[in-house]
Each structure stands twice: as C-alpha cells, then as structure tokens.
C-alpha cells in the first residue's frame, strides 16, 4: 500500500493557479523526488500534502490519513523541513532539539540524533553561529525528532556550497536506510539523480512525467555521445555506415559521434579491426538535465 497518494490536486491563490492537476503515489521506504523549475507548484504541492494548506480540489491520503481532517495524528507521523524555516538566533542546537522533542509523543533521543547528524561538537552553539550546512542538518534533525514514518524535505540544499550539499545528501541516504520514506522537493538535477528512487517532474502546476531518474533520462532519446582521438587513419564514412551510429563529425583525427546504447560497442569493433586506438575517449549519457529540458522546454 502506498504511503502517500495524491490524485487530482488543485490549488489556487486568488486568480493564480499554483497547482493545476497533480497526481502521484509514494511507496514505503523510497526517496521520492518532486522536481520542477521555480514556481512550478512544488512547494504548494507538499504544503497540501503536509496539511499546511487546504487544497481546492483533489484527494490526498498520507499513511491512510487525511491531512486536513486528521491534522493532529498526521503531525505525529510526518516530519517536515520547510524551505526557509529558521529558528530564533539565540536558540542552541541541543535546546532546539529538546524543545521540538517535547512536542511529540514518541520523540527520538535528541543526543543520539545530534551525533548522527554530525552536530556533536555544535551541541551548545546558537543557531545564528551555525554554518549553512549545519543549519540544514539541524533542520533535518528537527524533521526527524518525532520519529516520523515520512519525512518531507523542501529545497534542502539550496544555498549550500558543494561540500555541504554532498554532506546533506549522504545524510538523506542514511535516513532512508533506517526505513523512513522521504519526499524530496528540489530543482537540482544532480540532487534528484543521485538521491531519488523515483521522481515526478512538475511544470506549471501539472505532473509531466513520473519515472526513475534513468528512465526519465532515457526519454530524452537514450542517445549517447562518444568522442575520441584516433591514433591512425580512420574513415568517417565507415563509422557513419554502422546502424548503431546516428551522426559522425570529424575534425582532423578527432571524432564526435552520437548513437544508440550499442554505438560504443560497434565503434570499438571497427577500431579494433583497424588496429586503431581511441585516445581521450569520452562517453556521455543523455542526462536528467537533457530530459528536463526536453520535457519542460526550458533550461535550468
């Protein structure tokens, strides 16, 4: 049974339609990504899922509960990390966790959580003195302090430097391994690609695709890009004649090809027969980026 079921979600703010028609399901124990450009309706969608906003239409079920009707019960079982949710400047890490622990009926051990999130040496540091990465880790800790079954994390790594981002990513994988189902809202391709088991791409208030990251990438045409420098004379036409190869471009001894998934194999066959070595060989897959641009018609 899915942990979260959303069907036909619709939400307007005055004349502006924030979410037009969104449906998806999230299975137990997975990291489900909600990906989309800024202003696509991602945050509004999770705000409705977590009961912060009342939808204008559609049906939402989280752990079999209705976010509006079963508000109180849902709060106990769903941890939420909101975009831009801060804490009072002078509040210390440990105090924040102990305070939030006091809100829940079955809180996690604050000390253990602090250690697990690598904040052990920041226990008595005030919120204002934490680095961006530490603030985000504390934020994740607050979402987990109530031992939730589902954690909703919105724009977790926006504004973090690459090292801090990687640190938080590692953390999310670990949390999933403890059995928590995670909904991750992001507009970062790389983040979605690395973390998510499945994702829904939202654009202009609608789900335009739901698939695994590699499945989505595959929709961009499944093309591979191959580039190499030939060690000896090689005929462009011989490569172009291969059924697996779609296009070939030659500049001196440099070759750039596109082809299907078996193109590399076929090209290497030719090179081996000719006794030619491919130097500086590079192989690129169509990425989630390409898929995203293809699906939404916009670049990031």
HEC string for 236-253? HHHHHCCCCEEEEEEECC
The whole-angstrom separation of Cα 263 and Cα 266 is 5
Question: Please, which residue, 52 or 281, has the CB nearer to another protein?
Answer: 52
Interhelix angle for 132-144 vs 162-177, to 10°? Answer: 20
Does 84 interact with another protein (rule: CB under 8 A)? Answer: yes
Does 50 interact with another protein (rule: CB under 8 A)? Answer: yes
Does 103 interact with another protein (rule: CB under 8 A)? Answer: yes
Which residues, listed in sequence order, are joined to residue 13 by a DSSP beta bridge? 16
Contacts of 274 (CB under 8 A, 6+ apart): 232, 234
Question: Please, which residue, 90 or 249, has the CB nearer to another protein?
Answer: 90
Does 254 interact with another protein (rule: CB under 8 A)? Answer: no
Does 82 interact with another protein (rule: CB under 8 A)? Answer: yes
Residue with tokens 């019960």: 73
Does 237 interact with another protein (rule: CB under 8 A)? Answer: no
**Smallest distance, Å, CB 266 to another protein?**
54
Label residue 81 exposed, middle or buried (CB < 10 Å: 0-12, 13-18, 19+).
buried
Question: Please, which residue, 39 or 85, has the CB nearer to another protein?
Answer: 85
- Per CB under 8 A, the list member of 52, 234, 240, 268 interacting with another protein is 52
Question: Please, which residue, 75 or 227, has the CB nearer to another protein?
Answer: 75
- Yes or no: say if 180 and 141 are a contact pair by the CB < 8 Å rule: no
**Smallest distance, Å, CB 70 to another protein?**
12
The residue ranges that bind another protein (CB under 8 A) are: 50, 52, 72, 75-76, 78-80, 82, 84-88, 90-91, 95, 98-100, 102-105, 126, 142, 146
């Amino acid at each position: 049974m899915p942990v979260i079921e959303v069907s036909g979600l619709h939400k307007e703010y005055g004349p502006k339609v924030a979410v037009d028609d969104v449906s998806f399901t999230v299975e137990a124990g997975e990291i489900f990504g909600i990906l989309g450009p800024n202003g696509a309706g991602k945050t509004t969608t999770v705000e409705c899922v977590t009961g912060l906003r009342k939808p204008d239409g559609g049906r939402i079920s989280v752990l079999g509960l209705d976010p509006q009707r079963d508000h109180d019960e849902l709060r106990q079982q769903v941890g939420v990390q909101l975009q831009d949710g801060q804490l009072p400047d002078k509040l210390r890490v440990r105090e924040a966790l102990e305070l939030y622990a006091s809100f829940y009926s079955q809180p996690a051990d604050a000390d253990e959580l602090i250690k697990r999130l690598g904040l052990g040496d920041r226990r008595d540091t005030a919120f204002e003195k934490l680095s961006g990465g530490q603030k985000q880790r504390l934020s994740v800790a607050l979402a987990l302090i109530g031992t939730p079954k589902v954690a909703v994390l919105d724009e977790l790594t926006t504004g973090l430097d690459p090292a801090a981002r990687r640190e938080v990513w590692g953390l999310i994988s670990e949390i999933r391994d403890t059995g928590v189902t995670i909904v991750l809202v992001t507009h970062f391709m790389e983040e979605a690609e690395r973390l998510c088991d499945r994702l829904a791409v939202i654009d202009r208030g609608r789900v335009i695709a739901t698939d695994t990251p590699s499945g989505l990438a595959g929709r961009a045409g499944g093309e591979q890009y191959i580039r190499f420098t030939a060690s000896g004379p090689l005929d462009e036409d011989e490569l172009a004649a291969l059924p697996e190869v779609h296009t070939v471009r030659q500049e001196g001894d440099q070759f750039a090809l596109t082809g299907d998934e078996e193109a590399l194999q076929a090209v290497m066959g030719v090179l081996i027969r000719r006794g030619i070595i491919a130097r500086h060989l590079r192989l690129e897959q169509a990425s989630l980026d390409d898929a995203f641009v293809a699906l939404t018609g916009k670049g990031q």
